[in-house]
């Protein structure tokens, strides 16, 4: 367990549960938020056994813990653990934030709003009235779709290797906007914004995409981030995208939204992103 805390003897306790968790940046960003907003709190990491999420969460909250972030592979366990779910957690089908609200264990999902605030506030890109292409149809994409559609883009096309998974997402979100599914080789048209949510790059590969996908002044956002350019970012640069970003900002902004749910104060994120970038 690693700890980053203030020096107060009785700080409010928060943690992130995951497995593996050693390289999590969450303690760094929450320590920065706490310092910036003068909150007396500590935030630790805890590597939880794969079958022991509920037991570990019980111990944490029964021991006085105030709130948890939850990362891979426990977001569905956290969804099942919560007694009440926010609307956005229900729609995402996953929980990354737990806390007691009026004594009820509440599960929230801040990934999608984190993505949208990074894109619209930190980067200054508009999602409204844009044609958006999304690559991938896994949990990460399901997490952002609700908040993305709330921005009222003109259209959202979800392309995935396994088209059925894209079609399942379309079924879940079809009431929320103009959204359709496709395979990579059947993508047609050009797009203002392309978002990568595949984990292909982690395996050193990237889907073959049709040429001329990008409209003029297009933007590309990779939900992943890395010290050097991801394969998607390389593709975006080679394709002439004018605005390119990776998911480090989303990571900080989802944390900021969790922090806001817990502490009722929304921290500044831009400088925290810059500091994390310098330390990648
Ligand atoms: P996450 O929670 O990070 O979204 P996930 O639910 O396992 O992880 O989803 C991974 C996504 O990356 C899926 O869209 C997956 O495509 P499939 O649904 O067809 O499996 C995509 N992906 C992973 N490896 C890929 C590869 N080598 N080429 C193309 N897509 C890949």
User: What pLDDT digit, counting tens, does each position of 225-242 carry?
Assistant: 999 999 999 999 999 999
**Mind telling me the catalytic residues?**
75
Structure tokens at 64: 């006085």
Task: Give span(s): CATH 3.40.50.720, the chain.
Answer: 113-246
Residue 143: exposure state from Cβ atoms within 10 A (0-12, 13-18, ≥19): buried
Nearest protein CA to atom 2 of ligand 1, as residue: 139
Question: Using an 8 Å Cβ cutoff, are 195 and 171 in contact?
Answer: no
Angstrom CA distances, 267 to 14, 31, 114, 144, stand at 16, 11, 12, 21
CATH class of 113-246: alpha beta
Q: Which CATH number describes the domain made up of 12-109+250-278?
A: 3.40.50.10860
Nearest protein CA to atom 26 of ligand 1, as residue: 200
Instruction: Output the pLDDT for position 2.
Output: 45
Task: Give span(s): CATH 3.40.50.10860, the chain.
Answer: 12-109+250-278
pTM: 0.95
Quick count: other Cβ atoms within 10 Å of Cβ 21?
20
Ligand 1 pocket at CB < 6 A: 136-140, 160-162, 165, 197-200, 203, 205, 207
Q: Which atom of ligand 1 is nearest to the CA of 223?
A: 3
Structure tokens at 123: 């980067």
Structure tokens at 201: 């790059």
Per-residue pLDDT of the chain (280 residues; tens, 9 = 90+): 444 544 556 899 999 999 999 999 999 999 999 999 999 999 999 999 999 999 999 999 999 999 999 999 999 999 999 999 999 999 999 999 999 999 999 999 999 999 999 999 999 999 999 999 999 999 999 999 999 999 999 999 999 999 999 999 999 999 999 999 999 999 999 999 999 999 998 888 889 998 889 999 999 999 999 999 999 999 999 999 999 999 999 999 999 999 999 999 999 999 999 999 998 8
Q: Tell me the CA–centroid distance for residue 20 and ligand 1, in Å.
A: 19
> What is 23-73 written as a DSSP string?
T--HHHHHHHHHHHHT--EEEEEEE--TT-HHHHHHHHHHTT--EEEE-TT
Q: Which atom of ligand 1 is nearest to the CA of 206?
A: 28
Residue 73: exposure state from Cβ atoms within 10 A (0-12, 13-18, ≥19): middle
User: For 119-167, how does the pLDDT look when each residue is reduced to its tens digit (9 = 90+)?
Assistant: 999 999 999 999 999 999 999 999 999 999 999 999 999 999 999 999 9
> What is 244-262 written as a DSSP string?
EE-THHHHHHHHHHHHHHH
- 228 alpha-carbon distance from chain centroid: 20
């Amino acid at each position: 367990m690693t700890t980053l805390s203030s020096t107060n003897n009785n700080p409010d306790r928060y943690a992130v549960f995951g497995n593996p968790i050693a390289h999590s940046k969450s303690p760094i960003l929450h320590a920065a938020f706490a310092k910036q907003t003068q909150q007396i709190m500590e935030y630790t990491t805890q590597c939880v056994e794969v079958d022991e999420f509920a037991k570990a969460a019980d111990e944490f909250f029964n021991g006085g813990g105030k709130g948890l972030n939850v990362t891979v592979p426990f977001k569905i366990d956290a969804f099942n653990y919560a007694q009440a779910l926010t609307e956005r957690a229900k729609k995402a089908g996953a929980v990354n934030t737990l806390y007691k609200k009026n004594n009820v264990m509440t599960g929230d999902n801040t990934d999608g709003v984190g993505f949208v605030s990074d894109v619209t506030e930190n980067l200054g890109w508009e999602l409204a009235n844009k044609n958006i292409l999304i690559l991938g149809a896994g949990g990460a994409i399901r997490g952002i779709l609700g908040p993305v559609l709330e921005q009222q883009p003109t259209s959202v096309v979800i392309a995935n290797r396994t088209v059925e998974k894209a079609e399942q997402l379309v079924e879940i979100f079809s009431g929320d906007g103009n959204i359709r599914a496709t395979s990579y080789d059947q993508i047609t048209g050009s797009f203002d914004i392309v978002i990568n949510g595949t984990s292909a790059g982690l395996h050193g590969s990237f889907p073959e995409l049709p040429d001329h996908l990008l409209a003029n002044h297009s933007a590309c956002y990779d939900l992943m981030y890395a010290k050097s350019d991801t394969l998607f970012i390389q593709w975006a640069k080679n394709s002439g995208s004018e605005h390119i970003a990776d998911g480090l900002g989303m990571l900080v902004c989802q944390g900021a939204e969790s922090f806001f749910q817990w502490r009722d104060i929304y921290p500044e994120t831009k400088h925290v992103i810059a500091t994390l970038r310098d330390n990648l």
